[in-house]
């Protein structure tokens, strides 16, 4: 058998397989229709390029010798497990690029008509690099987000010292804290972020989990400098792509949304979780239009958005949290109802009780936990 044709057969198979894995991730995890179509076209484009060069699948299959392949029994430890779907996609992207390069070089080695496939495959390889980039960014940080109560800490809303409120919130069951201060100078904001991270790292949430995540509002630079878990972005803040350029997968990224189009866009861009709201009337932030629980139901009914972690926000209290939980809500973000309470711990515990009373404890997002280690 011609060894070059054997290599072409194996490399083409690897490329098609890897592209299919990427296509499935783009379709079912990222919900990215354009990317799914592009990856499908790449897969079919490789088949067409080889067939047009006289390297059809029948010829290549005739040079296949799986029993005699010395490489079938060689594996690396990392191949036996994956840390998550993002890692699966990363591995598939690398495998597809390597396989296409092997196809390209072997086509050149054959000369004549088969060599004509080389420039076509080269063009496919460069298209792959762009598709791989889009897919990696769309899959976000790959870090676990499993929060049911996030408390937004703003000093002006606090009835007690803000750090005392944060400590009490953790004891009451908050598994995420977001520092939301719009008017502080950078050094003071960084100092507070670090203080909040230190408090959260040494704490145990009140309902039995370990640790509490810390998110910084608007500022990825402060989040990175403070060692926080992530950053939360509004519709007029930095885009998710810009945060990834700064932080890669080191930060969880959440995005506030108030309609399905914004939510879909955020997920395509690689948001790890969605803010949904406003649910109810609130004096904390001026929102002329209430989206209400119907927006939550719309998100949960969407096949792409439903699996994405979320935090419903806007006027949520212990009184109305149960309505959201009964409607399928997996997590809520609360500000004034906790910060302005005389007993923030009790206020948090009352909200967490909404899940216990619903019989949905832990929620579908999972129980309270610290995010997993960043993916590479």
Provide the residue ranges of all domains of the chain, joining segments of one domain with +: 3-138, 149-358
The pLDDT value recorded for residue 356 is: 87
Report the distance separating Cα 277 and Cα 290, nearest Å.
7
Q: Say what the pLDDT of residue 210 is.
A: 52
What's the burial of 281, exposed, middle or buried (CB within 10 Å: 0-12/13-18/19+)?
A: exposed
Catalytic residues: 180, 256, 285
Picking from 138, 141, 140, the residue whose alpha carbon sits closest to that of residue 130 is 138
Q: Could you list the pLDDT tens digit for every one of the 376 residues in the chain?
A: 899 999 999 999 999 999 999 999 999 888 899 999 999 999 999 999 999 999 999 999 999 999 999 998 888 877 778 888 899 999 999 999 999 999 999 999 999 999 999 999 999 999 999 999 999 999 999 887 889 999 999 999 999 999 999 999 999 999 999 999 999 999 999 999 999 999 998 765 544 445 799 999 999 999 999 999 999 999 999 999 999 999 999 999 999 999 999 999 999 999 999 999 999 988 766 666 788 999 999 999 998 899 999 999 999 999 999 999 999 999 999 999 999 999 999 999 999 999 988 776 544 443 333 333 343 3
What is the per-residue pLDDT for 204? 56
Homologous superfamily in CATH for domain 149-358: Aldolase class I (3.20.20.70)
Tell me what pLDDT residue 209 has: 43
Q: How far apart are CA 21 and CA 135, in angstroms?
A: 11
Angstrom distance (rounded) from CA 197 to CA 216: 10
The pLDDT assigned to 370 comes to: 33
Q: Cα–Cα distance between 91 and 17 in angstroms, integer? A: 12
H or E segment to which residue 104 belongs: helix 85-110
Q: Is 36 exposed, middle or buried (0-12, 13-18, 19+ CB in 10 A)?
A: buried
Cβ pair 278, 258 in contact under 8 A: yes
> Closest Cα partner for 219 from 188, 257, 189?
189
Concatenate the DSSP letters of all residues of 356-371 into one string. HHHT--S-TT-SS-PP
| Contact (Cβ atoms closer than 8 angstroms) between residue 11 and residue 106 | yes
pLDDT of amino acid 376: 35
Nearest of 170, 376, 365, 189 to residue 272 by alpha carbon: 365
- Which residue from 263, 254, 25, 260 is spatially nearest to 134, judged by alpha carbons? 25
């Amino acid at each position: 058998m011609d060894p070059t044709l054997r290599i072409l057969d194996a490399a083409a198979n690897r490329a098609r397989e890897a592209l299919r894995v990427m296509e499935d991730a783009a379709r079912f995890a990222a919900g990215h229709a354009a990317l799914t179509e592009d990856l499908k076209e790449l897969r079919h484009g490789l088949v067409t390029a080889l067939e047009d060069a006289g390297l059809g699948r029948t010829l290549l299959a005739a040079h296949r010798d799986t029993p005699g392949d010395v490489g079938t029994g060689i594996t690396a430890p990392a191949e036996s497990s994956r840390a998550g779907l993002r890692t699966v996609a990363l591995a598939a992207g690398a495998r597809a690029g390597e396989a296409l390069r092997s196809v390209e070089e072997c086509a050149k080695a054959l000369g004549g008509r088969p060599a004509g496939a080389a420039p076509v495959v080269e063009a496919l390889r460069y298209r792959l690099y762009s598709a791989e980039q889009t897919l990696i960014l769309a899959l976000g940080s790959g870090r676990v987000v499993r929060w049911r109560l996030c408390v937004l800490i703003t000093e002006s809303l606090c009835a007690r010292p803000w750090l005392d409120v944060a400590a009490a919130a953790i004891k009451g069951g908050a598994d995420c804290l977001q520092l939301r201060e719009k008017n502080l100078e950078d050094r003071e904001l960084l100092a507070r972020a670090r203080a909040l991270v230190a408090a959260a790292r040494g704490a145990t949430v009140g309902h039995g989990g370990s640790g509490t995540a810390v998110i910084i509002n608007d500022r990825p630079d402060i989040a990175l400098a403070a060692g926080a878990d992530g950053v939360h972005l509004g519709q007029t803040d930095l885009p998710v792509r810009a945060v990834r350029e700064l932080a890669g997968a080191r930060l969880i990224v959440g995005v506030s949304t108030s309609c399905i189009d914004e939510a879909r866009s955020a997920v395509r861009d690689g948001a790890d979780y969605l803010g949904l709201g406003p649910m109810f009337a609130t004096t904390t932030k001026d929102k002329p239009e209430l989206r209400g629980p119907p927006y939550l139901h719309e998100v949960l009914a969407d096949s792409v958005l439903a699996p994405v972690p979320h935090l419903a926000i806007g006027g949520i209290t212990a009184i109305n949290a149960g309505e959201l939980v009964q409607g399928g809500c997996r997590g809520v973000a609360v500000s004034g109802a906790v910060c302005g309470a005389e007993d923030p711990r009790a206020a948090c515990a009352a909200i967490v009780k909404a899940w216990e009373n619903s019989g949905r404890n832990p929620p579908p997002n999972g129980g309270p936990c610290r995010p997993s280690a960043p993916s590479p």
